[in-house]
Structure 1
Amino acid sequence: MTPSRNDVVVAHGIGGSTDLPVPLEYAMLGATWALAISFAVLALAWRRPKLDPRSPGAALPPWVTRAVDGAATHTALGVLGVAITGWVALAAFGGEPGPTNGAPGAFYVLLWVGLVPLSLVCGHVWAYVSPVRALHHAACRALRRDPATGVWTYPERLGYWPAALGLLAFVWTELASPDPGALTTIRVWLVGYVVAGVLGGLAFGRRWFERADPFDVYAAFVAALSPFGRRDPASSTPQARRVVARNPLSNLAGLPVDHGIVAVVAVLLGSTAFDSATGTSWWLTEVQTWYAGSPVLAVAYRSLGLLAAIGAVGAVFVLAARATGGVTSVQRRELPSELAHSLVPIVVGYVGAHYLTYLVEKGQRTLIALADPLDRGWDPLGIGGLAPSYWLSEHPHLLAVLKVGLVLTGHVLGVIAAHDRCIRLLPRAHHLTGQLALMLVMVGYTFLGLFLLFAG
């Protein structure tokens, strides 16, 4: 029997108020004070731009750069990525459907959620682990072509839009499709992603992965908040490519701005908010009764709800970013894209809070299931007999502090990133008044995130 959505794919992992024993009003009060104090401090003490992706930072030993940029490292990571993908494919194509099959968990837990801590800690390591990048490099080597270039030049007007659409397709599959946990669904995604990635890379070169690959762009956005970066990201000289440790917000300020960047962050934030909303008592007792017993209506309602959440997040942010004076009409249109990077910490904080126990606990179950992808008694890593630990869920007070802390930290960092960019872009007379609407929207995101976190 194919595992149900509740067995395999439910991405809530957040529990209800009984699992988060901190009164909601206390969390809201704390959020209000944290954001009010942070904005007051910024207004008084942060009057000049300080976040610069080309700031010197602290240079790491030269061997770190040599190891990161070494061909052997890239080859090893690429082989590892292809091997892991192949192992998951064994479970998807050869394993038996059921709760012991690890393919759905690998797709929805280890990949989608696991990319966040991996990218935060290691930077954009996905660029080297990505199986489609590795297969693209292998294909280019066989064809004796430069992997950086393709048959055609990637159309600049597309920007991040293909990645935004790919991410939307993924979150729709997870949150609104009829049977996201079915092995058929996983097979289609595996084959489609690999084929599209390799062909896209051959057609447009490296730019395809930097702008159109949904998981690559997702990882790059999160990795922009990593404490590790290059001395001068825009340069290709060996000295400028030196790996350094610097303020993560300075690295974030260097996130490339392009068409569709707002759509990417809106999909990431809006889909997580929608996932939380579907676990609230209001959705379960009110909305769900409208489509109970009808799979077609269920898909329709969930699809509309998902699109509405993403659209609302994006539209409110665009309106708030443009609500300033002292700029030309062209500058006003560009402001949402220029400020979109400030939503990345909010996305990371909310995703971390929402999926924390999901990643830790269901991630263990997934790894144990993947130890034997074909149900033949394999256990090469010796983990098949282990039992997952639920220690985090057994300490609800600690879990509540971690989740509220992740949300608040993400929003405070977002406020700082937005403030620094605003005083860089806006005329001096509008440094504070020009960002008030954006600050209010971020406060609203904070309150909504906490409410959904506790109401789920």
Structure 2
Amino acid sequence: MSVSHRDIWFKLMLIVLVIMHPDLAVAHASEGGFVLLLPTDVYIFAGAASVALTVVFLAVLPDHALPLVFHAKPLWWIKRSRLHLFSSGLSFLFLMWLVHLGLTGPRDPLANPLPLTIWTLFWVAFVILQGVLGNAWYWVNPWSGPLAFTRKILKIEPLMRLPSSMGHCLSVFVFLLFVSILLADPAPADPARLARYVIWYWMTTFVAALVFGPRWMRRGEAFTVFLTLYARLGLFARRRGRLHFGFPGWQVFSGKKPAFWLAVFVLVMLGSGSFDGLNETFWWLDVIGINPLEYPGRSAVIVQNMSGLAVANVALISAYCAMIWLGLKLARTSMTLNDAFCHFAPTLLPIALAYHFAHYYTSFLVDAQYALAAATDPMATGADYLGLGTFYVTTGFFNSQDSVRLIWLTQAGSVVLGHILAVMLAHGLAVRHFGETRRAALSQAPLAMFMILYTFFGLWLLASPRGF
């Protein structure tokens, strides 16, 4: 059997990489190997069974129980101030400093603060923080301060009105564009490339907000819409001038029905997050005809991944609408499919956030250490601004079956809890709209089956072997 020169060079480079960075070779290989050794089928069944038992329990629960669970407690009064504009200005200056480091700093994405801040601290840690605590984005949004300053100095009024008929469809499109870059761009973590993306997006949003006014930030700016949706899951929120605290999801339970395109945005968040995990599995690589042991690189599967992203979102929205429609038929209610879709779509937010956490948890455990190292030496000159001394990134927690089991159970547990919370929210809203537990249970029966199957799917994603 002949061996090509390319294969020989590839194997030699792989050997050199393993010799130079043995921790990288051991980390992901051993983690995946240990996960395959775990009784994941038992865990998957137990997780889905937990969601199923929650559905049964809610069906016999008194009507007044869930409103008590999701009742928020007022804490103290909060006066409106312009302090968030000052913190926004600081956030903008910090972002520009990161862009500068992206263009002039280290070329290694694991040493440059820009990709570590964007992909690790913002896209993973901050998104989770937003979903757990509440609307922290209000304080660090890098546009509100510069926009307020520019409008005041130049006396600029909005030049055009964003048509109400467009709703949030622009933000859905921009979010899908972002996910496409995340999935298909050959080098999304390259510091200079990412710096150009960031400055281009900031400038485009800034100009659009000047032209269309504050409505653009609420409807057209994808990250503000994305993070505001996740803030609905948070424990804290300002209501009628007072800070309120409640059970996770209380804002979804007590909130108004979202507009149609905002409801679609929720489904796109879940569908895109799910495909972000699916496209790495051996199953997906087999579907698109790729040998996982000879992965050709991201640039070779751009069309396949973009097609998969579109199909995943269309399939999810279609399946969800079908379950909603079937539930309305079973409950014999006059509520329209459009109204039901908009009312119940936000109940999927806990599942989307849980998948987000589970999918990025292992990479965050490693990359957060690189972010700390970059913070103490942002220009990779040997400085030690944080006084950490000699800092070594460790991946040792991937090399023990016990620690990998704990990591996997943390991921699986978050997925199960997300589904349980989603089922609780959906049932509580159904009782509110349909008036009695029996009709609510009938309306939610198809959705409950959908949730259980999606729990299987989510846990299977965590346990499946990865191709890259």
Q: Distance between the aligned counterparts of 1:293 and 1:396, measured in 2? A: 29
Q: Which residue of 2 aligns with 1:289?
A: 290
Residue 415 of structure 1 deviates from its aligned partner by 0.5
Query: What's the secondary structure of 1:432's corresponding residue?
Result: helix
Higher helix proportion, which one?
Answer: 2
1:44 aligns with 2:60: yes
Residue 135 of structure 1 deviates from its aligned partner by 1.8
Q: What pairs with 1:90-101 in structure 2 (closer than 5 Å)?
A: 90-99=100-109, 100-101=111-112
Q: Which residue of 1 aligns with 2:15?
A: none
Summarize deviations over 1:297-338 as a string: whole Å, max 9, x none.
41111111122222222221122122222344x722221121
Residue 212 of structure 1 deviates from its aligned partner by 1.8
Q: Distance between the aligned counterparts of 1:103 and 1:163, measured in 2? A: 24
Match of 2:447 among 438, 441, 446: 438
Match of 1:200 among 196, 208, 214: 208
Contact 1:91–1:370, Cα closer than 8 Å, also in 2: no
Q: Distance between the aligned counterparts of 1:47 and 1:297, measured in 2? A: 54
Q: What pairs with 1:44-443 in structure 2 (closer than 5 Å)?
A: 44-48=60-64, 50-51=66-67, 55=71, 57-62=72-77, 65-66=78-79, 69-72=80-83, 74-99=84-109, 100-144=111-155, 150-231=158-239, 240-253=240-253, 254=255, 257-284=258-285, 287=288, 289=290, 293=296, 297-323=300-326, 324-325=328-329, 326-328=332-334, 331-383=336-388, 385-390=390-395, 393=398, 395-426=403-434, 428=436, 430-443=439-452
Letter in structure 1 aligned against 2:73: A
1:34 aligns with 2:35: no
Contact 1:162–1:212, Cα closer than 8 Å, also in 2: yes
Q: Distance between the aligned counterparts of 1:319 and 1:201, measured in 2? A: 37
* Larger CA Rg, structure 1 vs 2: 2
Residue 431 of structure 1 deviates from its aligned partner by 1.8
Residue 416 of structure 1 deviates from its aligned partner by 0.7
Contact 1:225–1:248, Cα closer than 8 Å, also in 2: yes
Q: Which residue of 2 aligns with 1:451?
A: 460
Runs of 5+ consecutive residues of structure 1 not aligned to the other structure: 1-6, 8-12, 232-239
Q: Distance between the aligned counterparts of 1:109 and 1:247, measured in 2? A: 27
Residue 87 of structure 1 deviates from its aligned partner by 2.5
Q: Which residue of 1 aligns with 2:6?
A: none
Q: Distance between the aligned counterparts of 2:36 and 2:413, measured in 1? A: 12
Q: Distance between the aligned counterparts of 1:294 and 1:389, measured in 2? A: 26
Let me know the Cα RMSD of the aligned residues.
Answer: 3.0
Q: Distance between the aligned counterparts of 1:108 and 1:79, measured in 2? A: 21
1:46 and 1:134, CA in 2 relative to 1: closer, same or farther beyond 3 A? farther
* More divergent stretch after superposition (441-450 vs 288-297): 288-297
Letter in structure 2 aligned against 1:443: I
Contact 2:184–2:302, Cα closer than 8 Å, also in 1: yes
Query: What's the secondary structure of 1:179's corresponding residue?
Result: coil
Q: Which residue of 2 aligns with 1:237?
A: none
1:159 and 1:130, CA in 2 relative to 1: closer, same or farther beyond 3 A? same
1:198 and 1:52, CA in 2 relative to 1: closer, same or farther beyond 3 A? farther
Letter in structure 2 aligned against 1:278: N
TM-score, structure 1 as length reference: 0.84
Query: What's the secondary structure of 2:162's corresponding residue?
Result: coil
Identity of aligned residues (%): 25
Q: Distance between the aligned counterparts of 1:90 and 1:255, measured in 2? A: 42
Letter in structure 1 aligned against 2:267: A
Residue 418 of structure 1 deviates from its aligned partner by 0.9
Contact 1:321–1:438, Cα closer than 8 Å, also in 2: yes
1:133 and 1:249, CA in 2 relative to 1: closer, same or farther beyond 3 A? same
Summarize deviations over 1:354-403 as a string: whole Å, max 9, x none.
11122232122134224444444454434584333446545112212211
Q: Distance between the aligned counterparts of 1:306 and 1:272, measured in 2? A: 10
Residue 131 of structure 1 deviates from its aligned partner by 0.8
Q: Distance between the aligned counterparts of 2:396 and 2:62, measured in 1? A: 41
Residue 248 of structure 1 deviates from its aligned partner by 2.5
Contact 1:133–1:198, Cα closer than 8 Å, also in 2: no
Q: Distance between the aligned counterparts of 2:51 and 2:181, measured in 1? A: 35
Q: Distance between the aligned counterparts of 1:305 and 1:453, measured in 2? A: 19
Q: Which residue of 2 aligns with 1:236?
A: none
TM-score, structure 2 as length reference: 0.82
Letter in structure 2 aligned against 1:349: A
Q: Distance between the aligned counterparts of 2:68 and 2:311, measured in 1? A: 35
Letter in structure 2 aligned against 1:267: V
Q: Distance between the aligned counterparts of 2:152 and 2:133, measured in 1? A: 27
1:410 and 1:46, CA in 2 relative to 1: closer, same or farther beyond 3 A? farther
